[in-house]
Structure 1
Amino acid sequence: MAKILVLNGPNLNLLGTREPEIYGKTTLKDIEELLKARAEKAGVAIDFFQSNHEGELVDKIQEADHYYDYILLNAAAFTHYSIALRDAISAISVPVIEIHLSNIHKREEFRHTSVLAPVVLGQICGLGVESYLAALEAVLAKLVISAK
């Protein structure tokens, strides 16, 4: 059975209450439940982890190597400056899809740059909760293709 890890970075534990005009009113738990239901329907295992600490996310990325088939990562603010996360992604063989609820390219200038983008499989942003669902659907499609 294929396995997917969903990693969420700083402040995403506050979804639903933090700047709902930007991030919406859906909680992280709500997003996890949506993804879990879709993964179960597809027969795929899915795990979740959120941390406000860069090192914990680095540890999870390193531990994911050779255990998970894909990582869905919303690194939040770490997207824009974490060379440690970038290096961890570069060091593993598991493909990573970068996710953002908001369109980082339409926000403040400092958010326009992702130091992760050059080392991830792809980036999905600006679709709200559907960014997560689109990333999961992309992984499911890739799993079907690779199974053939």
Structure 2
Amino acid sequence: MRTWKKVNDGKKCAFLKHIGCSQHRNGITFEENLINQARHIENIILKQNKAQILKNHLQLQASIDTVRWLTFQACALQGHDETPNSKNRGNFLQLLKLLASYNDEDANVILENALYNSKYTSGDIQKEILSIIANKVRKHIRSEVGD
């Protein structure tokens, strides 16, 4: 009984020629990647998404803490000139900058290090956070006073 490698004495065997071609090597690589679940595209995307979610959570938490602290201190949130070149960018941005200076984890994801579309520093975001805090305060007052 002969194996496929010995067809035509192994010299002109189509299978042996196929093994040496790039299509076969690519196919083997694809098969190995499919079997190796750690390298599977869904797992890679899931890991990236989890990392981005954690960064977004940290950014949002820093913004919430900043709005809450400034609100309880009765300070204005926004300044006159919030451009990056300004010496005083407003209380909100300056406090975020201060928080970043004390914590490397925060510094790596907020303000200039954040992705452009997920800084959580716009006036609309500040107002929405403030609105949520106000609703919680109202709800707490109503629960103390009663109906």
Q: Which has the higher strand share?
A: 1
Q: TM-score range by the shorter chain?
A: under 0.3
Q: Which has the higher contact order (CA 8 A, sep 6+)?
A: 1
Q: Structure 1 length normalisation: TM-score?
A: 0.23
Give the helix-richer structure, 1 or 2: 2
